[in-house]
Amino acid sequence: MPVHRKALEGVSDGVFHAGDMEHDHEVGDGITKKSAGPKGSAGVTLLYAFIKEKGKMNSELMFSSKTDMWATPQDFFDKLNKVFRFDVDVCALPENAKCANYYTAERNGLEQDWRGVCWMNPPYGREISLWVEKAYRSAKENGATVVCLLPARVDTKWWHSYCSKGEVFFIKGRLKFGGSDNSAPFPSAVVVFRPTIDDAFIEA
């Protein structure tokens, strides 16, 4: 039944094969024949179960903390670096650090003193709020300029608490992280925290 196979192809990422839904039916004289497609109500149940499971797996990948490391696209960083001329990458791996000076997980950027012009593309898991808060406070307390590449999760507490107080630039389309051929399953934004004239007149 081509209709069912077409529907599955749209959600399977190429994993599903027609044989996965084959069933036997009698054609006479005790002979059976394999046919692609779901068999009756049981086949329909299997079809929806398959779609539901694939959707669950995709959702877990896209919206949970299971995948939280998204390497900055080099060409995207280069464009920003021409303008900001970054001093330090505050959250990096040795193989993808964007600046000569950088903090790895071992050095723990959250425990470092951020100054100058900083680049930040943090892990996108649950700890992201700690990184965004650190960026915000480094601008307010140390006079740092921190440029952040973040998922545009505008419904989160950390976004409203910190990002809404910075300079926000929503990126058109979806980025391809780490040299991937596929675009990210979420929108991105660049958020800039830096001292403002108001900071100069805030009484301690």
For residues 100 and 190, membership in a common domain is answered with yes
What is the number of domains present in the chain?
Answer: 2
Q: Do 148 and 124 sit in the same domain of this protein?
A: yes
When the pLDDT of each residue in the chain is averaged and rounded to a whole number, the result is 74
Share of the chain above pLDDT 90, in %: 45
pLDDT of residue 70: 66
pLDDT > 80? residue 27: no
pLDDT of residue 68: 52
Q: Which residue has the higher pLDDT, 178 or 42?
A: 178
**Residue 52 within a domain:** yes
Residues in CB range of 136: below 8 A, 6 or more apart: 146, 162, 165, 166, 193
Does 96 score more than 80 pLDDT?
yes
Q: Is residue 18 part of a domain?
A: yes
- 121 domain-assigned: yes
Q: Is residue 25 part of a domain?
A: yes
Q: Please say if the pLDDT value at position 102 is more than 60.
A: yes
Where is the domain boundary, 63, 84, 109? Answer: 63
Contact 116, 148 (CB under 8 A): no
Domain span at residue 81 reads 74-200
pTM (2 decimals)? 0.65
Same domain, 188 and 155: yes
Question: Is the domain of 50 the same as that of 125?
Answer: no
Q: Read off the pLDDT of each residue in 164-176 and give the average, rounded to a whole number.
A: 91
Please tell me whether residues 182 and 93 are part of one structural domain.
yes
Are 33 and 81 found together in one domain?
A: no
Task: Render pLDDT for 116-126 as a digit per residue (tens, 0 to 9).
Answer: 999 999 999 99
Residues 24 and 91 in one domain: no
Residues 133 and 44 in one domain: no
Is residue 68 domain-resident? no
106 and 39 inside one domain: no
Q: Are residues 82 and 40 in the same domain?
A: no
Residue 144, domain CATH: 3.40.50
- Please state the three-class secondary structure of 6-17 as a single string: HHHHCCCCCCCC
Q: Are residues 36 and 130 in the same domain?
A: no
In a domain, 69, yes or no: no
Q: Does residue 160 carry a pLDDT above 70?
A: yes
Kindly state whether residues 53 and 85 are assigned to the same domain.
no
- Give the chain as a 3 state SS string: CHHHHHHHHCCCCCCCCHHHHCEEEEEECCEEEEECCCCHHHHHHHHHHHHHHHHHHHHHHHHCCCCCCCCCCHHHHHHHHHHHCCCEECCCCCCCCCCCEECCCCCCHHHCCCCCEEEECCCCCCCHHHHHHHHHHHHHHHCCEEEEEEECCCCCHHHHHCHHHCEEEECCCCCCHHHCCCCCCCCEEEEEECCCHHHHCCCC
Point out the least confidently predicted range of 50-54, 59-63, 163-167: 59-63
